[in-house]
Amino acid sequence: MYDIQKGYELAKAYYKELGIDTDEVIRKVNDKAISMHCWQGDDVIGFEKNAGSLSGGIQTTGNYPGRARNAEELRADIEEVLKYIPGKTRLNLHANYLEADHAVPRNEILPEHFANWIDWAVEKGIGLDFNDTYFSHPLSEHGTLSAADESIRKFWIEHGIACRRIGGVFAEKTGGPCVINHWTPDGDKEFPIDTLSPRLRMKDSLDQIFEATKDVKGVVDGIESKLFGIGMESYTVGSHEFCTSYVMSKHCPHIIMTLDAGHYHPTEVVSNKLGAIFAFSDNVLLHVSRPVRWDSDHVVAYDDETKTIMEELVRMNRLDATYVATDFFDASVNRLVAWATGLRNVRKAMMAAMLQPIDALRKVEQEGDVSARLAMVQEYKAGGMLTLVWNYYCASQNKGEGLVWLDAIKDYEKKVLSARS
């Protein structure tokens, strides 16, 4: 490896000329929390005693050996992968990752079913976020919060209520806030005759959940929209317009929009929406993901969209106002490599956004010098000396510069993962 310290000094001098303090950038990048999704570790299966197969229009493909089969294995994998993910990392749990020695109906889940997760998170100093699980369940096949069958809808309202109560305990025990994401797969393969009634029911269900849990403290609620799911290609109850309208109509600081990078038309991008949403909302929850032709939940790449999302947030000065969470599931590669690659990419994109002379760019724009704006934006696109700063940052955090971490995870695969059937 080249001299990392020397490389950093050179980069520091380069960025200083652009008016950028790299030490300050590193501090900011390191302090920004990213909520790492637990479900990359076991292909979104979870640990319910009566767990069925994954449903709800989402799919995990691949059967790479070494999947975590229980919560202990998942926690061990998370501990391992966190060694190679620099910066503040939270853990994002789904309701179906509960631990109990018997099958627990989803509307009866309690904080005690997450006691091991809470103890572990407190011990490690990791913040916990949460998700209701409205999929992979026999009662979710004909709608959940929008179900026409009132007893089924009630069941899922009770699930939502139970989840907000659990989130409140997460916040209290781990020093919140706990961000809960509310996503329902409800939809239809064909275009329905009645597109309004399911939405009125969904609206009422969400209202009931919030009303019944208004005493819960420390919870932030993201409402996640979607364009379509597999098997529900024609109609989604929780569409972008529905969720945007719901959030905006509530005028409630803790109810915010969740924007998943994979949930829009192929030419529609989240980076292009953020500015409009921040004109009306103080906070946003991001699901950083990567769609390939459809909402395929590929591992987050260091691609234009991930970089542009971070650029937008940094330039608008809204990164702190954004809850950043990852959401992808790839079972075709080593699951820890997938996690580390995706999480490192998110943080690297943040760093890249901060290593640009934003004040100078803003100045030429304000002066109306559109030619200089064009030339400057292109000049800094190549990334300057990003890798030199990134490697120094990873090395100084002892999180593996370059690809050092890859060998370490391969070693874990040999020693631990390969022993799993």
Q: Which residues bind ligand RNT (CB under 6 A)?
A: 39, 44, 58, 131, 181, 183, 224, 226, 260, 287, 295, 327
Nearer to Zn ion, 286 or 395 (CB): 286
- Assess whether 405 carries a catalytic annotation: no
Give me the catalytic one of 137, 159, 173, 226: 226
Cα separation, 264 vs 240, whole angstroms? 8
Do strands 294-298 and 290-292 pair parallel, antiparallel, or not at all (unpaired)?
antiparallel
Say which residue the tokens 């009931």 belong to: 208
**From candidates 37, 164, 287, 318, binder to Zn ion by CB under 5 A:** 287
Residue count of the chain, please give it: 421
Give me the catalytic one of 37, 113, 137, 287: 287
Cα separation, 60 vs 408, whole angstroms? 25
Nearer to Zn ion, 80 or 327 (CB): 327
* Window 227 to 266, contacts with Zn ion (CB under 5 A): 260
Cα separation, 85 vs 33, whole angstroms? 12
Rounded to whole angstroms, what are the CA distances from 308 to 144, 270, 349, 372, 396?
34, 9, 8, 20, 27
Q: Which does 48 bind (CB under 5 to 8 A by kind): ligand RNT, Zn ion, none?
A: none
Nearer to ligand RNT, 32 or 226 (CB): 226
In three-state secondary structure terms, 314 is helix
Q: How far is the CB of 327 from ligand RNT (least distance, A)?
A: 5
Cα separation, 150 vs 156, whole angstroms? 10
Estimate to the nearest angstrom the gap between the alpha carbon of 420 and the chain centroid.
Answer: 27
Nearer to ligand RNT, 237 or 351 (CB): 237
- Assess whether 413 carries a catalytic annotation: no
- Assess whether 226 carries a catalytic annotation: yes
Q: How far is the CB of 41 from ligand RNT (least distance, A)?
A: 12
Is the Cα dihedral 114, 174, 38, 409 positive or negative?
negative
Q: Which does 136 bind (CB under 5 to 8 A by kind): ligand RNT, Zn ion, none?
A: none
Identify whether the C-beta of residue 139 lies closer than 8 Å to the C-beta of residue 186: no
- Count of CB atoms within 10 A of residue 252's CB? 11
- Assess whether 183 carries a catalytic annotation: yes
Do strands 178-182 and 187-188 pair parallel, antiparallel, or not at all (unpaired)?
unpaired
In three-state secondary structure terms, 297 is strand
Q: How far is the CB of 28 from ligand RNT (least distance, A)?
A: 27
Q: Which does 39 bind (CB under 5 to 8 A by kind): Zn ion, ligand RNT, none?
A: ligand RNT
Q: How far is the CB of 185 from ligand RNT (least distance, A)?
A: 7
Does 327 bind Zn ion (CB under 5 A)? Our answer is: yes
Does 158 bind Zn ion (CB under 5 A)? Our answer is: no
Give me the catalytic one of 156, 183, 339, 405: 183
Give me the catalytic one of 158, 221, 312, 327: 327
Query: Could you give the angle at which helices 150-174 and 115-124 cross, rounded to 10 degrees?
Result: 30
Q: Which of 140, 223, 144 is nearest to 180 (CA)?
A: 223
Nearer to ligand RNT, 31 or 241 (CB): 241
Listed ranges 56-64, 67-75, 123-131, 285-293: which one lies at the site for Zn ion (CB under 5 A): 285-293
Chain residues that interact with Zn ion, rule: CB under 5 A: 260, 287, 327
Active site members:
183, 224, 226, 260, 263, 287, 295, 297, 327
